[in-house]
Amino acid sequence: MLNRPAGDSSTTRIVNIQRGMSLGEVAESLQEQRLIANAQWFRVMGKLTRADRKIQPGEYELHAGLTPTEILSRLKEGKVYYHAVTIPEGYTVRQIAEILAKKDLVDQAKFLALTHDSNFIKSLNLTVQSLEGYLFPDTYFLTRLTPEEETIRIFVHRFWKAFSPAMQARAKGMDMSVQEVLTLASVVEKETGLSRERSMVAGVFHNRLAQNIPLQSDPTVIYAIEAFDGNIRKRDLSIDSPYNTYQVRGLPPGPIANPGEAAIHAALYPTPSDYVYFVSKNDGSHQFSVTLAEHNRAVEKYQKKLGKQAS
């Protein structure tokens, strides 16, 4: 019988059916990869069922244990292969573009351009300068034929699912816009990786904002440095940038990364305290202080002895 598998399920291939390929080209490709035994029969079967006009381009995960009819059915139905890609919390749009480009899922330059394209951003019902902050960190399943515009829409849609109506109501009650919440959340995300500290760090920044004290956050300064080499220097704290929160009071003009749900929650539900300072203890955690004298002692204890810059 011609309609029998060419082998077993252990022979699995990712097959790329390019746009414009003829049924004959598809059949030859499948035979070369030993997924079908007879390319001629596959072509005849495709012609008889008019499948030659219905094959969908894309990548397919196929194995030799499938019959030619089953393979043809998958190609007709467009059951394409989805690549899993995880966007970590706190990544910038540039880092996200790099991840996607390495998997050949987007054109990096086009993706980045779209995140700053005012007309495209308006099409997403957003009135912001950049989509920084709105590409929600999560694991996504994407195809290599998914347009960059659609990929971004998927990320932004996921953000709005996470930023629930309850969160939106909370932001409104705090007299904060979504952009302001995301901006603060992104700073919190970059300042600490400890779940138990996020709301405390957010509380410090809320206190500073309320008292009109500069946030003095290194990550915001780093965001403004185009070719950051991993070391922040004293001179960097004097750069002329709206993201330099050592020089400019209040929040920076927009998010400095794409925060996860926990950081967003922390920005909306900060831990009440009188803390207005914190410094790294060099073990991933921070020492929180109320007064400058307490903070200076903490800096002396945890930072100056190591010759490092305090947070």
Q: ∠ at Cα 187 (184, 190), nearest 5°?
A: 150
Domain spanning 12-77: CATH 3.40.50.1820: no
Whole-model pTM: value is: 0.86
In tens digits, the chain (311 residues) has pLDDT values of: 578 888 888 878 899 998 889 999 999 999 999 999 999 989 998 988 888 788 999 999 999 999 999 999 999 988 899 999 999 999 999 999 999 999 999 999 999 999 999 999 999 999 999 999 999 999 999 999 899 999 999 999 999 999 999 999 999 999 999 999 999 999 999 999 899 999 999 999 999 999 999 999 999 999 998 878 778 888 888 899 999 999 999 999 999 999 999 999 999 999 999 999 999 888 889 999 999 999 999 988 887 665 544 44
> Which DSSP letter does residue 3 get?
S
Q: What is the pLDDT of residue 308?
A: 46
Taking the alpha carbons at both ends of the chain, their separation in whole angstroms is 73
- The answer to whether 215 and 187 are in contact (CB under 8 A) is yes
Q: What is the pLDDT of residue 303?
A: 78
3-state SS record for 17-54: ECCCCCHHHHHHHHHHCCCCCCHHHHHHHHHHCCHHHC
6 contact partners, CB below 8 Å, separation of at least 6 = 34, 35, 36, 37, 64
- The answer to whether 285 and 197 are in contact (CB under 8 A) is yes
Q: Which residues of the chain form CATH 3.30.1490.480?
A: 12-77
Residues across the chain = 311
